[in-house]
Structure 1
Amino acid sequence: MHNIWSEEFGAATDAPILLIMGSMSQGILWPDEFVGRLTAGDRRVIRYDHRDTGMSDTVDFAAEPYTWDDIKGDVYRVMDAHGLRSAHLVGHSAGGLLAQLIAVERPERVRSLTVIAASPLGGGEGEVLVRALMGQPQPEGSLPEPSPEFVAFFRALMAGPQPSGRRAIVDGMIAEQRVLHGTGLPFEEDAAQLLQERIYDRARDLSAVANHRLAAAAKPDFEPVGVLHQVKAPTLVIEGSHEPAKPGHGAIIAEQIPGARLMIVEGMGHTLPPETHEELVAAILAHTAV
């Protein structure tokens, strides 16, 4: 069994919020200020590093392969370790996908559901991304594809040499954050440098995050199709007005989950910059007051 790093904030008697970050992403991408605002609103907040990210255990994937079912299983393990029979789930990007699946699969464990910058469960977002990067046409009915800037950046990344050494790797991570940030708000270069240096320095093995892609390839049919109507948890769907990776996907989630509410945050892209924290936290506190 692999060890998963987690930490919690706030009083044990407060309503619990479990923050689930996206693919290949450490839990500290839930910003400290964002977490602090939630705890100041009388919430018990837990964030964690997925396996093969940050301070959680890394594996030799060839020797110990796993799938996204196992990554989803880690969510339950974190909840169990913190003594949570149920929690308010807040998921970002692929973390939002995991949260949707858990809301379908184990509704008794989900007090409410908040998905941020995510794609609809069963929508085939991975295939849309691959086709966009390969310059292939999208079949009718496909999810909207990423922005041209997003596609151009990751095409160049795939074609170019991989950086080596701390400075070059961190510079590349900052460049990726800039693209994900979108064009709606100023990009704070110094803050990005501090964050990416922190991510680099706290990782057991930074390259291990690529195992998440291998896990997706190991079971490409991980996502059930046509099940979002089964979600019973009160649902809040949040998307930035300048989302570069999954533009318009939030509206599709909100359409498919009964009673879901869609919130568009002006200027936000695919990250959680400080300018958005007050609005995001106010919405999450209101939504989790159930």
Structure 2
Amino acid sequence: MRDVNIWSEEFGAATGAPILLIMGSMSQGVLWPDEFVGLLAAGGRRVIRYDHRDTGMSDTVDFAADPYTWDDIKNDVHRVMDAHGLESAHLVGHSAGGLLAQLIAVERPDRVRSLTVIASSPLGGGEGEVLVRALTNQPQPPGSLPEPTPEFVSYFQAQMTAPPPQDRRARIDGMIAEQRVLHGTGLPFDEDAARRLQERVHDRARDLSAAANHRLAAAANPDFEPVDVLHRVTAPTLVIEGDHEPVKPGHGAIIADRIPGARLLTVPGLGHTLPPETHDHLTTAILDHTAE
């Protein structure tokens, strides 16, 4: 497998306690909002965000010629830390980025000063299978994680048969529609701000379609998430979930229950995105959690 260049950037004082922000599957680092990042940096932290391989300005991969797995995506986290000269950092992961952070906290506790998991699922909980069953109208076995909301399911069921958009405007309109569903119903949706964000995401991508390789990587790595290991996490852990989470409702409480000493923070109005109305609440909690 060839080397892959990963784009990253950092904010704040180089002497600050380092926070590494890990975004979810198929998502660029700029989905960590600038204001959110700025508040963390203003709180004295050295903040790093990056684009996963096959997203944004990081290298894209010919998956047929150079296949990779989610283990490789996880190892990119270590590569970013190494590139910034960090032996350890406070890991903050969103959605699938939270799964990556959980696994690193299990495997390499020496690299994790603290763990913050936002809008994520418990490692080894079978969230992918729950989602597939929900989208294909299959019954969930007893003990499965809570399902996504009906609004989320109906939207993505429609997308499964919709023709792909053919031009920039149509692609961005589709990205805004998806963001609206992920935003949830707890707070007003700012369509103008969503358009500015999705135009940025669209225009800075080397190849927007390459992000779909993350699905292929997951299929090639079915055993990526070990089960019954969260009790091994020793890093101080903060779990954050919104009370309007549409994708993984109630999953945060399960994570907090399985990690010894973990604290659960429920944020009013928060869905599966990071809107401005929640930034003060989120960053205050993270700054307190990462105080050294």
Task: Please say whether Structure 1 and Structure 2 have the same fold, judged by a TM-score greater than 0.5.
Answer: yes
CA distance in 2, matches of 1:120, 1:88: 19
Query: Which residue of 243, 246, 250 corresponds with 1:244?
Result: 246
Partner residue in 1 for 2:271: 269
1-structure distance, mates of 2:232, 2:291: 22
Return the alpha-carbon distance in structure 2 between the equivalents of residues 67 and 268 of structure 1: 31
**Match of residue 124, structure 1, among 123, 126, 134:** 126
Equivalent residue in structure 1 for 2:136, among 134, 137, 157: 134
Query: In 1, Cα distance between the equivalents of 2:199 and 2:24?
Result: 19
| TM-score normalised to structure 2 length | 0.99
Structure 1 residue 27: Cα displacement: 0.1
Corresponding residue number in structure 2 for 1:13: 15
Distance 2:71 2:102 in 1: 13
State the match for 1:25 in structure 2: 27
Aligned residue number for residue 56 of structure 2 = 54
Letter in 2 for 1:108: D
For residue 152 of structure 1, what is the amino acid of its counterpart?
A: S
For residue 114 of structure 1, give the secondary structure of its aligned residue in structure 2: strand
For residue 117 of structure 2, what is the aligned residue in structure 1? 115
Measured after TM superposition, the shift of residue 127 of structure 1 is: 0.4
Cα distance in 1 for partners of 2:61, 2:162 equals: 26
Code of the aligned partner of 2:236: P
| Distance in structure 1 (CA, Å) of the matches to 2:187 and 2:99 | 26
Question: C-alpha distance in 2, partners of 1:168/1:20?
Answer: 28
Alpha-carbon distance in structure 2 between the residues aligned to 1:158 and 1:44? 40
RMSD: 0.4
**Structure 1 spans left out of the alignment, 5+ residues:** none
Q: What's the CA shift for 1:220?
A: 1.1
* Gapped regions of structure 2 (runs ≥ 5): none
Q: State percent identity of aligned pairs.
A: 82
In the superposition, the TM-score normalised over structure 1's length comes to 1.00
Matches within 5 A, 1:46-195: 46-195=48-197
Q: Distance in 2 between matches of 1:229 and 1:256?
A: 6
Q: CA deviation at 1:164?
A: 1.2
- How far the C-alpha of 1:247 sits from its partner, in A, is 0.2
Which whole-Å CA distance do the structure 1 matches of 2:71 and 2:166 have between them?
32
Structure 1 CA distance for aligned equivalents of residues 271 and 239 of structure 2:
14
Report the number of matched residues. Answer: 290
- Counterpart position of 1:232: 234
How many Å apart are 1:172 and its aligned residue?
0.1
Deviation at 1:221, TM superposition (A): 1.3
What is the DSSP-based 3-state SS (H/G/I as helix, E as strand, rest coil) of the residue aligned with 2:151? helix
* 1:34 maps to which of 33, 36, 44: 36
What one-letter code is carried by the residue in structure 2 that aligns with 1:185? L
